[in-house]
Amino acid sequence: MIHLRGVRKSYGALQVLRGVDLDVPHGQTVSVIGPSGSGKSTLLRLLMMLDAPDTGELVIDGERPWSTDDHGRVRADAAQLRRARAKVGMVFQHFNLFPHMSVLDNVMEAPLSVLGLRRPEARDRALEYLGQVGLADKAQAMPGQLSGGQKQRVAIARALAMQPRIMLFDEVTSALDPELVGGILALLRGLAEPQDMTMLIVTHHMRFAERCADRVLFFDEGVIAEDGTPAELFHDPRHERTRRFVAAVAGE
């Protein structure tokens, strides 16, 4: 479902990804952990195709949105980029809802404008996913009338309404009050259980990363420093850097 080889990404003089190799099969839930600035969110931006890699190979469900020409320059393949983007949904930490649209219209917008669904079908789909996140009764509310946790649930419903094959979550609980975090994490656990969607979840909640993922990646200084099962990574890590990070986070 996801294939990366030798992927590098810099912003100016700052090299953020330093040669990432990664394969994620269909249906796997992967937690991505690591210190700030280690490249976690940049990885998601590349997978969402918000940014292009500087070098390396990136394949999303068989699509190759970027190619490298004879001079080593990365070029976009417009058709493959469009198809790949339709397969990936992303939920950001700051919700990014349209403030002038109702909850229902926020969830309907992409199915209408991107997928070309007819309005009745888009409405039914939006209500289905709002029900799945427990907010069907807020369909006519405006984002300004919602709590932070409710806004995040709407953002998740909006991404699900595109019925992506891959879902990316970038620190979706970091902007929430502590008492709201549990509900969002429980929702993500429920999404992970059916195993029919590939999910990458960047998180600083180690208990969630351990309990809900099939696999955990530890990023450090722009590379995947360790890749293993939750039991391996949290209880018997191979590398000293991973041990120090896990111990430091556990002590917080």
Condensed to tens digits (0 to 9), the pLDDT of residues 159-210 reads 989 888 999 988 877 766 766 777 777 777 777 676 678 999 998 888 888 8
pLDDT digits (tens, 9 = 90+) for 103-135: 999 999 999 988 889 999 999 999 999 998 889
pLDDT at position 208, please? Answer: 81
* C-alpha to C-alpha distance for 241 and 110, rounded to whole angstroms: 42
Rounded Cα–Cα distance for residues 246 and 89 (Å): 29
> Which of 66-75, 176-185, 226-235, 242-251 has the highest average model confidence (pLDDT)?
226-235
> Distances in Å between the alpha carbon of 221 and those of 1, 12, 19?
25, 16, 11
* Residue of 202, 200, 148, 155 whose CA lies nearest to 175: 148
- 151 by Cβ neighbours in 10 Å (0-12 / 13-18 / 19+) ranks as buried
Return the SS3 of 121: helix
How does pLDDT run across 71-108, given as a tens digit for each residue?
Answer: 767 888 888 988 898 899 888 877 789 999 999 999 99
Domain spans in the chain, listed from the N-terminal domain onward: 97-163
Q: What angle do CA 148, 252, 230 make, to 5 degrees?
A: 85
* Confidence (pLDDT) at 47: 94
Mean pLDDT, residues 12-18? 94
- Which two structure tokens, joined as six digits, stand for 76? 């976009």
Residue 136: φ, ψ to 5°:
-60, -30
pLDDT at 185: 76
Q: Label residue 251 by pLDDT band (50, 70, 90).
A: low
What is the reported pLDDT for 179? 67
Lowest mean pLDDT among 42-56, 72-86, 155-169, 219-233: 72-86
CA–CA dist 37, 17 (Å, integer): 10
Q: Is the pLDDT of residue 144 over 80?
A: yes
141 or 252, which is more confident?
A: 141
Q: At which residue do the structure tokens 């998601």 appear?
A: 44
CB 62 within 8 A of CB 80: no
Q: 33 - beta bridge partners?
A: 218
H or E element, residue 188: helix 178-192
Whole-number pLDDT of residue 101: 96
